[in-house]
């Protein structure tokens, strides 16, 4: 009978331990790789999401700017067409002078009557879109702010500001001897500032402790925004442009008066 082969148990245990350790190590590496890949996927997804949001914001601002520019261009075209129609109507009403007729004498009453049909001359419009936030807190009787009472409201809105000249305040001086007519216009003023109710969107409302946002707070906020937008429009030259366009339009209107060819017409503006 052949002798049985003996195995060294210590050596077998060591080999088995190395195999187990090697298997555990590979499992750990695999888990680590998977974890890194998952983190990278999450980072890529977040990055794509941020880029998508930025693109949406850029497109939104671009569309609003184009819309505002288009509305301003359309409004200017309407004003120009209105001016041309007015001038043509005045020309049609002017009596035809034959070769034997005398040159008409222009009086102050004639000029006033000519301007009377457009007493308040609106010459410029400022179309705006804006978003703003109002925050306030309640106070104690002695003026100290009450804790946790702060409230806020965030809204977006569209509006239109109109500026023009009140022609009833124009100063008209006619010098028949020197054949000159001088019309001095008052400075342009804001004639209207309208924020349509349907254009207002309340984006966010936060109420404070015993200090909720009320309808009065809402109306006060819109009134404040109108004043802010008027100052912005004036800062961007709205009244200056209105002065220039009013002077040009008045000169065009008065130039079609019969006999005006014999006079020197000057339009001035009060500083």
pLDDT in 10s for each residue of the chain, 271 residues: 455 545 444 444 454 455 445 555 555 566 666 666 677 777 778 777 777 778 777 777 666 666 766 776 677 676 667 666 666 655 555 544 444 445 567 888 888 888 876 766 678 899 999 988 877 655 666 666 666 556 778 889 999 999 999 888 899 999 988 999 999 999 999 999 999 999 988 887 776 565 676 778 888 889 999 999 999 999 999 999 999 988 988 998 888 888 888 899 999 988 7
Whether 165 maps to a domain, the answer reads yes
> Which has the closest alpha carbon to 170: 253, 104, 51?
253
State the DSSP code for 207.
-
Residues composing the chain: 271
| pLDDT at 19 (0 to 100) | 46
Q: What residues contact 166, with CB distance under 8 A and at least 6 apart?
A: 119, 120, 121, 186, 189
Counted domains in the chain: 2
Containing domain of residue 161, as a range? 104-269
Whether 250 maps to a domain, the answer reads yes
Are 16 and 125 members of one domain?
no
Q: What residues contact 148, with CB distance under 8 A and at least 6 apart?
A: 208, 209
CA 85 from centroid of its chain's CA atoms = 30
CA 154 from centroid of its chain's CA atoms = 16
Are 17 and 143 members of one domain?
no
Whether 59 maps to a domain, the answer reads yes
Whether 1 maps to a domain, the answer reads no
Are 217 and 159 members of one domain?
yes
Contact 230, 147 (CB under 8 A): no
| pLDDT at 56 (0 to 100) | 74
C-alpha to C-alpha distance for 136 and 178, rounded to whole angstroms? 64
| pLDDT at 139 (0 to 100) | 60
| pLDDT at 61 (0 to 100) | 65
Are 25 and 142 members of one domain?
no
Contact 235, 224 (CB under 8 A): no
Whether 257 maps to a domain, the answer reads yes
- What pTM was estimated for this model as a whole? 0.57
> Which has the closest alpha carbon to 111: 268, 243, 260?
260
C-alpha to C-alpha distance for 229 and 233, rounded to whole angstroms? 6
| pLDDT at 32 (0 to 100) | 67
């Amino acid at each position: 009978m052949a002798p049985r082969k003996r195995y060294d148990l210590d050596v077998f245990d060591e080999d088995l331990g190395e195999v187990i350790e090697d298997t555990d190590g590979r499992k750990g590496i695999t888990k680590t790789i998977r974890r890194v890949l998952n983190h990278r996927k999450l980072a890529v997804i977040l990055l794509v999401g941020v880029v998508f949001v930025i693109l949406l914001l850029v497109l939104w601002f671009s569309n609003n700017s184009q819309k505002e520019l288009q509305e301003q261009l359309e409004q200017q075209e309407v004003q120009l067409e209105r001016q041309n129609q007015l001038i043509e109507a005045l020309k049609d009403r002017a009596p035809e002078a034959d070769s034997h007729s005398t040159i008409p004498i222009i009086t102050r009453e004639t000029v006033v009557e000519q301007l009377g049909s457009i007493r308040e001359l609106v010459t410029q419009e400022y179309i705006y879109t804006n978003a703003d936030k109002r925050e306030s807190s309640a106070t104690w009787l002695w003026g100290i702010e009450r804790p946790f009472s702060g409230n806020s409201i965030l809204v977006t809105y569209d509006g239109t500001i109109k500026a023009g000249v009140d022609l009833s305040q124009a100063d008209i001086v006619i010098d028949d001897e020197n054949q000159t007519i001088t019309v001095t216009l008052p400075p342009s003023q804001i004639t209207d500032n309208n924020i349509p109710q349907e254009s207002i969107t309340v984006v966010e409302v936060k109420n404070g402790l015993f200090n909720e946002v009320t309808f009065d707070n809402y109306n006060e906020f819109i009134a404040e925004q109108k004043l802010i937008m008027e100052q912005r429009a004036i800062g961007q030259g709205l009244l200056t442009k209105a002065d220039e366009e009013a002077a040009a339009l008045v000169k065009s209107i008065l130039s079609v008066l019969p006999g005006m060819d014999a006079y020197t017409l000057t339009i001035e503006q009060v500083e």
